Chains A and B, each alone.
Chain A
């Protein structure tokens, strides 16, 4: 069965802290994605990766960076957290190039105080 896991369900951080969000998939998928989801704005793509050590900017990469050292793991880093980064963060993975849809993790609700 398809599985994407995220390191934390809920996280509270202070402004200026460095924040790491981890995502692991067990489906041997090439592609991995990080989104944030906000009311009224839907899902917005932050970064994605189609291979180990490769990354591409999404629609809203500012204030974020990513790391993919292993195929199954994709990390999102908030270099200096700010209150406007309070959001639900969702990781997803998919096959490449056939696609077949993206499979999402349970999400991390991040609050920055």
Chain B
């Protein structure tokens, strides 16, 4: 069993929809949680960085961490075609300064 599980999709939604992307993990030592967005043939771009449990909001994006359930989510409000990309979750016990464990990514397509 992988340490981090992420539904690969593809997930297709209409423009303006609320998107929910999720990861589950098994290692209770994970304290730092990240979401990356990766466009086709590009490197991953850091979207959200959170520590421990709780919510963090940045514009249309909200990251949620539930450590008791070992479950993290990324919500995208008012989704746009430009949000079409692969979203990767990543986590670490010690922050990004050390090894990250990545999910395999969820492919999202936002259609007009």
| Interfacial residues, chain A to chain B (CB-CB below 8 A) | 4, 30-31, 40-43, 45, 48, 50, 58, 90, 94-107, 109
Contacts and interface: CB of A to CB of B under 8 A. Distances in A.
23 contacts: A31-B97, A40-B8, A41-B104, A42-B103, A42-B104, A43-B44, A45-B99, A50-B97, A58-B99, A90-B44, A94-B96, A94-B97, A95-B97, A96-B98, A97-B98, A98-B95, A98-B97, A100-B97, A102-B34, A104-B36, A104-B44, A104-B46, A109-B41
A36 to B, nearest CB: 12
A99 B32 contact: yes
Contacts, number: 67
B13 interface: no
B94 interface: yes
B43 A106 contact: yes
Contacts of B96: 94-95, 99-102
A95 B94 CA distance: 12
Given A104-B45, A107-B41, A97 B94 contact: yes
Contact of B95 (A40, A42, A99): A99
A90 B105 CA distance: 15
B99 A96 contact: no
For the complex, would chain B's binding face be called helix, strand, loop or mixed by DSSP majority? loop
Contacts of A107: 41-43
B44 A101 contact: no
Interface centre among A58, A90, A99, A104 (most CB of B within 10 A): A99
A107 B42 CA distance: 6
Given A41-B104, A42-B88, A97 B95 contact: yes
Contacts of B71: none
Contact of A106 (B42, B92, B100): B42
A43 B49 contact: no
Nearest to B32: A99
B43 A102 contact: no
Given A90-B44, A97-B94, A48 B102 contact: no
